Structure 1
Amino acid sequence: MAHHTAVAAPRLKRTPLSGRARALRAVVLGAAMALLLQGCSTVKLAYNQAPQLMAWQINRYLGLSDAQSERVRDELDDLHQWHRDTMLPQHAQVLQKVQRQLADDVTAQQACSTYADIRTQLDQVVSQAEPKMLWLASQLTDSQIRQLERKQADSNADWRKEWLDPTPEKLREHRFKELLSRAEGFYGRLDEPQKAALRAFIAQSSFDPQRTYNERLRRQKDLVHVLQTVARDRQNTAQTKTLVREYLARFDQSPDPAYRSYAQTLVTEGCAGFAQVHNATTPAQRVKAVASAKSYEQDFMTLAAQ
């Protein structure tokens, strides 16, 4: 429910993050996110392929050496197995809670409670992945950091084209179509009352693409600076640990108080927007939503047992 895609929960969508940050977060959050990126029929396949897909993404941004690639694959395999054993049952528990809620009307507070549960679980993944991130950060060469900057510039051009170039009217329509597609994947076909609720959420949203883009640039520059600092003293493991931890904290909570307030507003609006759309659904659509959540839960438990 974060950022402008909040109302589309529980299917998680990519958020407009920085290029290298996206690759770094793939190490940290990819195993959890991969569960929810596809429809129920492909969850198992997507999850089982997550380490390979993440390794490819990291290599695309950094141009890893053969030795680095092998170590990254091993680290991702370890993280994936830990996630399978530890986090999948917890994800299933959240979905059990979601199923109980979706049968009736949902309050914004209930939606935010579910969001908080998800954030807590992702924080566990961050903690587990941190040592692996420290190792990778300490191994990057100047050339690899420059490649990262080029990839950031490329991804920024794509981001601007999608979110900054369109007129406000086209942007609202783009958001509507994106959220509608994901909502219908969960509830089934939406009718005019639900579409009206979705459009009302978008019309009232505080989402500001320029503001979000500025934070994106801050995160990118922050990451490059951290990696360059690490590269100047690779053997200083204590410094590397501090730098990476502080970067992750700034990634999660911007040092800009105004942006932190803006980000929290988006979360709050997202919770209210999800409740607004859900409460406009029919009994049949709610049955479909409960069944969708149940299918995810069953897939998670099947994967956890493998």
Structure 2
Amino acid sequence: MFPLRTTIGVVALVLAGLLLAGCSTVKLAYGQAPQLLAWQLNRYLDLSQPQAERVRDELAELHRWHRDTLLPEHAGLLQKLRQQLPAPMSPEQACRAYADLRTQIDQLLARAEPSLVWLASDLSEAQLRSLQKRQADSNADWKKEWLDPTPDKLREHRYQQLLSRTEDFYGSLQEPQKAALRRYIAQSSFDPQRTYAERLRRQTDLVQVLRQMAQERGNTDQARTLVRGYLARLNTSPDAAYQRYAQALVEEGCAGFAAVHATMTPAQRLRAVASVGAYEQDFITLAAQRVSRSDPVPQ
């Protein structure tokens, strides 16, 4: 479940044009996605040999389905974004693009559900302890990056991250454009303490669900219900206050993107159009590869 969130994050960043530097990088990263995800799963869960072999097969099949089904839809989203970028964009336009992406994410999770149910039902107590250890290690890294710095250092860290991604997309920024980024960060509702508390809630929820499934091993219907419940809570926190906080961050992100985009010159917007167009063409090319392949799909 957790590596899928990594995949989703990568897709979202590519759609925003802020992650990868060149088309060949996109193709290489996408082609290696099943192997990277299998490695990540094994790192968290210390998979047995039979589990690792089945995970590789399941991820290869999910990857083929994603290439055939969702990559053309991703390209369609990029085409819409590319057509909008030359002009100013409203926060509502940015949020519609985000909502379209969320719909595609839901399709991916629905397709992955049988694999998630199988693997979650097959984990041992030792593997759950391995997961908890990895969670603790990851939390320590997260705290070091987001909780330990002073507020001023945290704002500067966020600014430098956002500046780097934005300049990858638009090219070098001038001082008025950098000031727009700083205003967005200064006005942001981002609260690392609140975000960390939700992170811990999700991790505890995951381990509890996996232990419930272990207790009722063999009950596929119950396992499916538990997985769906967990994914629903992952998508929408049961904490109403956190729901409002998360929604505020989305709305601020949409407004912040629109405000920063409004400061860009025509040349910078054309560079963004070219960047998105390159990713769009990459997705189209990758999606077409299935037609020429003769390898069998694992059953």
TM-score, length-normalised on structure 1?
Answer: 0.90
Structure-to-structure mapping, 1:145-164, within 5 angstroms: 145-164=128-147
Change in 2 beyond 3 A, CA 1:33/1:166: same
Letter in 2 for 1:192: E
| Aligned residue number for residue 235 of structure 2 | 252
Distance 1:46 1:102 in 2: 25
1:298 to 272, 281, 289: 281
2:80: which partner in 1? Answer: 97
**Gaps (5+ residues) in structure 2?**
290-299
Distance 2:40 2:135 in 1: 13
Which residue in 1 is equivalent to 2:205? 222
Aligned runs of 1:168-247 on 2, under 5 Å? 168-247=151-230
1:56 paired to 2:39: yes
Rounded Cα–Cα distance in structure 1 between residues aligned with 2:11 and 2:214? 30
For residue 236 of structure 1, what is the amino acid of its counterpart?
Answer: N
Q: Which contiguous aligned blocks of 4+ residues in structure 1 show a shift greater than 4 angstroms? A: 30-37
CA contact (8 A) 1:102 1:290 kept: yes
Query: Could you give the per-residue CA deviations for residues 246-271 of structure 1, whole angstroms, max 9, x where no partner exists?
Result: 00000000000000000000000000
The separation in 1 between residues aligned to 2:261 and 2:10, in whole angstroms, is 28
1:4 is matched with: none
**Aligned-pair CA distance for 1:23:** 2.9
Amino acid at match of 2:99: A
Q: Which amino acid aligns with 2:42?
A: N
Contact in 2 for aligned 1:30/1:54 (Cα 8 Å): no
Instruction: Report the Cα distance in structure 2 between the residues aligned to 1:274 and 1:263, rounded to whole angstroms.
Output: 17
Secondary structure of 1:133's counterpart equals helix
Matching residue of 2:21: 39
Q: CA deviation at 1:105?
A: 0.4
Q: 1:169 to 1:34 in 2, by over 3 A?
A: closer
- The corresponding residue for 1:18 is none
What TM-score, normalized by structure 2, do the two folds share? 0.93
Indicate if the aligned counterparts of 2:12 and 2:101 stay in contact, CA closer than 8 A: no
- Picking from 54, 63, 71, the partner of 1:71 is 54
Q: Which amino acid aligns with 2:2?
A: R
Sequence identity of aligned pairs in percent?
65
Task: Kindly state the Cα deviation for residue 31 of structure 1 after the two structures are TM-superposed.
Answer: 8.0
**Aligned with residue 288 of structure 1, among 255, 261, 271:** 271
Cα drift, residue 40 of structure 1? 2.6
Structure 1 residues 34 and 274: alpha-carbon distance in aligned structure 2, compared to 1, 3 A threshold: closer
CA distance 1:165–1:30, shift in 2 (3 Å): closer
Once residues 25 and 71 of structure 1 are traced to their aligned partners in structure 2, the CA distance between those partners, rounded to angstroms, is 20
Is 1:23 the counterpart of 2:3? The answer is yes
Letter of the structure 1 residue corresponding to residue 32 of structure 2 = Q
Q: Report if aligned partners of 2:45, 2:131 keep a CA contact under 8 Å in 1.
A: yes
Amino acid at match of 2:103: T
Equivalent position SS for 2:198: helix
After TM superposition, list the pairs within 5 Å mapping 1:59-138 onto structure 2.
59-138=42-121
User: Hey, what's the Cα distance between the residues in 1 that align with 2:63 and 2:10?
Assistant: 6
2:166 is the alignment partner of 1:166: no
Letter in 2 for 1:178: Q
CA RMSD, Structure 1 to Structure 2 (Å): 1.4
Deviations along 1:93-115, one digit per CA (max 9) or x if unpaired, are 11111011110001000000111
- SS at 1:305 equivalent: helix
- Tell me how far 1:238 sits from its aligned partner: 1.1
Deviations 1:224-251 (CA, angstroms, capped at 9, x unpaired): 0000111111111111111110000000
